[in-house]
Amino acid sequence: MPTIHFQGKDYPCSENETVLDCLTRQGETIPSSCRSGVCQTCLMRAVSGTPPPKSQESLKPTLTAQHYFLPCICTPTGDLQIALPADDIVQRTAATLVARERLNHDIVRLLLQSQQDFDFRAGQFAHLSRPDGLIRSYSLAGLPHTDGLIEFHVRRLPGGAMSTWLHEEVAVGETVQVTGPSGNCFYTPDNPDQGLLLIGTGSGLAPLWGILQDALRQGHRGPIHLYHGSWNPAGLYLVNELRQLAARHPNFIYTPCVDAEAGSGDTLGRADLVALGALANLKGWRVFLCGHPEMVRNARKKAFLMGASMKDIYADPFVLSAKAA
Amino acid sequence: MAANLYEQLGGAGAVDAAVDIFYRKVLSDESISHFFDDVDMERQAAKQKAFLTYAFGGPNNYTGLDMRHAHAHLVARGLNDDHFNAVAGHLQSTLAELSVPAELIDQVLTIAESTRNDVLGR
Write the CATH number for A139. Answer: 2.40.30.10
Q: What digits encode the pLDDT tens for the residues A65-99?
A: 999 999 999 999 999 999 988 776 589 999 999 99
Looking at the structure, do residues A19 and A75 belong to the same domain, yes or no? yes
Whether A191 is in a domain gets the answer no
Looking at the structure, do residues A79 and A104 belong to the same domain, yes or no? no
B97: distance to nearest CA of chain A, Å? 15
Whether A322 is in a domain gets the answer no
Residue A182: helix, strand or coil by DSSP?
Answer: strand
Overall average pLDDT of the A292-321 stretch: 91
B12–A58: do the CB atoms touch at under 8 Å?
yes
- Considering A31, A62, A83, which residue would you say is the last residue of a domain? A83
Query: Is the pLDDT at A218 greater than 80, yes or no?
Result: yes
B20–A300: do the CB atoms touch at under 8 Å?
no
Write the CATH number for A255. Answer: 3.40.50.80
- ipTM (interface predicted TM): 0.82
B91 has a chain A CB within 8 A of its CB: no
pLDDT score at A188: 96
Terminal-residue alpha carbon distance, chain B: 38
Looking at the structure, do residues A165 and A206 belong to the same domain, yes or no? no
Class of B9-119 per CATH?
A: mainly alpha
A300–B41: do the CB atoms touch at under 8 Å?
yes
Overall average pLDDT of the A125-131 stretch: 93
Chain A interface mutation, best of B21, B29, B34, B53, highest count of A Cβ atoms under 10 Å: B53
Q: Provide the mean pLDDT of chain B.
A: 90
Whether A265 is in a domain gets the answer yes
B60: distance to nearest CA of chain A, Å? 6
Tally Cβ neighbours within 10 Å of residue A309. Answer: 18
Looking at the structure, do residues A124 and A166 belong to the same domain, yes or no? yes
Query: Is the pLDDT at A322 greater than 70, yes or no?
Result: no
Backbone region of residue A143 per phi and psi (left: phi > 0; alpha: psi in -120 to 50; beta: other values): beta
- From B40, which residue of chain A is nearest by alpha-carbon distance? A297
Overall average pLDDT of the A203-227 stretch: 97
Which chain B residues touch A58 with a CB distance below 8 Å? 12, 16
Strand-pair partners of A317? A291
Query: Is the pLDDT at A51 greater than 70, yes or no?
Result: yes
Looking at the structure, do residues A211 and A310 belong to the same domain, yes or no? yes
B24–A34: do the CB atoms touch at under 8 Å?
no
A310–B50: do the CB atoms touch at under 8 Å?
no
Q: What digits encode the pLDDT tens for the residues A284-305?
A: 999 999 999 989 999 999 999 9
Nearest CB to A305: which of B19, B28, B49?
Answer: B28
Whether A43 is in a domain gets the answer yes
Query: Is the pLDDT at A156 greater than 50, yes or no?
Result: yes
Looking at the structure, do residues A74 and A102 belong to the same domain, yes or no? no
Whether A324 is in a domain gets the answer no
A186-201 in b/e form (b: 16+ CB < 10 A) is bbbeebeeebbbbbbb
B42–A58: do the CB atoms touch at under 8 Å?
no
A304–B46: do the CB atoms touch at under 8 Å?
no
Overall average pLDDT of the A310-318 stretch: 92
Looking at the structure, do residues A224 and A175 belong to the same domain, yes or no? no
Query: Is the pLDDT at A212 greater than 80, yes or no?
Result: yes
B96 has a chain A CB within 8 A of its CB: no
pLDDT score at B38: 67
Overall average pLDDT of the A102-115 stretch: 95
pLDDT score at A204: 95
Count of the separate structural domains present in chain A: 3
Sequence-ordered list of residues with C-beta below 8 angstroms from that of A137, at least 6 positions apart, any chain: A125, A126, A127, A128, A182
Nearest CB to B42: which of A33, A37, A310?
Answer: A310
Overall average pLDDT of the A169-178 stretch: 96
Q: What digits encode the pLDDT tens for the residues A221-277?
A: 999 999 999 877 888 899 999 999 999 999 999 998 888 654 343 334 488 988 998
Backbone region of residue A8 per phi and psi (left: phi > 0; alpha: psi in -120 to 50; beta: other values): left
Which chain A residues touch B63 with a CB distance below 8 Å? none
- Name the residue ranges covered by the structural domains of chain B: 9-119
Whether A144 is in a domain gets the answer yes
Percentage above 70 pLDDT, chain A: 95
Looking at the structure, do residues A213 and A311 belong to the same domain, yes or no? yes
A39–B50: do the CB atoms touch at under 8 Å?
yes
Q: What digits encode the pLDDT tens for the residues B16-47?
A: 889 999 999 999 999 999 998 767 888 888 88
- Considering A139, A158, A182, which residue would you say is the last residue of a domain? A182
Q: What digits encode the pLDDT tens for the residues A177-195?
A: 999 898 899 999 999 999 9
Q: Where are the alpha helices (DSSP H) in chain A?
A: 19-25, 61-65, 161-164, 205-217, 239-248, 271-278, 293-305
B9: distance to nearest CA of chain A, Å? 17
Looking at the structure, do residues A16 and A57 belong to the same domain, yes or no? yes
Nearest CB to A305: which of B15, B24, B59?
Answer: B24
Q: Provide the mean pLDDT of chain A.
A: 90
A58–B16: do the CB atoms touch at under 8 Å?
yes
Q: What digits encode the pLDDT tens for the residues B36-92?
A: 876 788 888 888 888 899 899 988 777 777 889 989 999 999 999 999 999 999 999
Whole-angstrom Cα distance, residue B60 to residue B46? 13
pLDDT score at A89: 59
- Considering A34, A67, A83, which residue would you say is the last residue of a domain? A83
User: What does pTM read for this prediction?
Assistant: 0.86
Whether A325 is in a domain gets the answer no
pLDDT score at A319: 84
Q: What digits encode the pLDDT tens for the residues A139-151?
A: 999 999 989 999 9
Sequence-ordered list of residues with C-beta below 8 angstroms from that of A175, at least 6 positions apart, any chain: A94, A95, A96, A97, A131
pLDDT score at A31: 85
A47-74 in b/e form (b: 16+ CB < 10 A) is eebebeeebbebbbbbbbbbbbbbbbbb
pLDDT score at A97: 97
For the purposes of burial, counting CB atoms within 10 Å of the CB of A89, is it exposed (0-12), middle (13-18) or buried (19 or more)?
exposed
Overall average pLDDT of the A42-63 stretch: 92
A301–B28: do the CB atoms touch at under 8 Å?
no
Q: By residue range, what is the domain housing residue A290?
A: 196-317
A16: distance to nearest CA of chain B, Å? 17
Tally Cβ neighbours within 10 Å of residue A298. Answer: 16
